Homo-oligomer: A and B are copies of this chain.
Amino acid sequence: MMEAKHKAYLEELAAKVDAKLLEYVQVTPETRRQAQVVEAMRYSLEAGGKRIRPVLVLEFCRIFGGSEEQAMAAACAIEMVHTFSLIHDDLPEMDNDDYRRGKPSCHKAFGHAVALQAGDALLTEAFAVILRDPILEPEMKVELLQILTSATGAAGMVGGQIMDMANEKRSDVTLEEQEAMCAAKTGALIRGACRLGCAAGFAPKEQVALADQYGAKLGLAFQIVDDILDVTSTSEVLGKPVGSDAAEGKTTFVTLLGLEVAKTRAAALTAEAEQILSQFPQHEFLLDLTRELLCREK
């Protein structure tokens, strides 16, 4: 369990991000004819989730002395990219998931075409909110967007989703391949979040590299925990079907390592992540959050 003050602080940050996301994505006079796609974007943004990525952006910015205002556009942008990826990942041609966070997935609620387009529009809007930000300098906008596109594109998250799909058809995926897939699919965006926060806070270069390493450890541990929960949790707790990996014969860190070794591995990665974190000033909240993410039950 997180310390009460950290839990309250996490909720405060998440609430600020929630409010800003819905402020960014609204039906305007220009979009009144395509209000449905904007509603679908808002539906998926409102479906919640832990807001880990935006919190990492905001916290790394704060650690290096930056303000919330400097980091908020980037924080919301990375959550939009994450949400876009979930919408497209749930589509029938990908994972074909009817539920997401306990609610019908976007294509179940709005239809396949609207969900496809809502994802496309969210990805575009992620870049747009950084571009439109009133306080960021052009140099900063370019730096933030470069981090975001690298984390998102063929060498990042999108590429990872394709590796994941390709691996699903195979029964001989190696641990090295699984780690590479996970580094791209989950890791790229988490590392991107850490780097965005550092950039927004004008962190020194060597500190950015450290934050990036922390993100890589956290991302891998996060995915291993996800794989563990898919075999140990219940759909009521998770808010999504459990056992789906096994039912599909999917390679996971649990099938590759076994449940106990997977747990040990996640714990070791978190210890390494914690060790890196402890080198940053004002790291107490992120340290507590990192531990919470490993002990999470959903």
Contact = CB atoms under 8 A, between A and B. Distances in A.
A76 to B, nearest CB: 14
A2 interface: no
Contact of A88 (B92, B116, B141): B116
A116 B139 contact: no
A121 interface: yes
A33 interface: yes
A92 B154 CA distance: 23
Given A33-B180, A159-B31, A163-B33, A128 B153 contact: yes
Interface string A159-173: 111110110000000
Contact of A121 (B28, B154, B180): B154
Given A127-B127, A128-B149, A91 B116 contact: yes
Contacts of A184: 33-34
Interface in A174-211: 177, 180-181, 184
A246 interface: no
Given A37-B154, A124-B152, A141-B142, A162 B117 contact: yes
A155 B94 contact: no
A288 interface: no
A145 interface: yes
A281 interface: no
Given A31-B154, A88-B116, A142-B131, A159 B124 contact: no
Interface residues of A, number: 58
Given A33-B180, A163-B33, A158 B117 contact: yes
Interface in A59-99: 84, 88, 91-94
A254 interface: no
B94 A113 contact: yes
Contacts of A161: 117
A37 B159 contact: yes
Interface in A109-156: 111-117, 119-121, 123-125, 127-128, 131-132, 137-139, 141-142, 145-146, 149-150, 152-155
Contacts of A31: 154-155, 159
Contacts of A37: 154, 158-159, 162
A248 interface: no
A294 interface: no
5 contacts: A33-B181, A37-B154, A93-B115, A131-B145, A141-B142
Given A28-B155, A113-B162, 19 more contacts: A30-B155, A31-B155, A33-B177, A34-B162, A36-B162, A36-B166, A37-B154, A88-B117, A91-B93, A92-B112, A113-B165, A114-B165, A117-B158, A119-B120, A120-B120, A121-B154, A124-B149, A124-B154, A138-B142
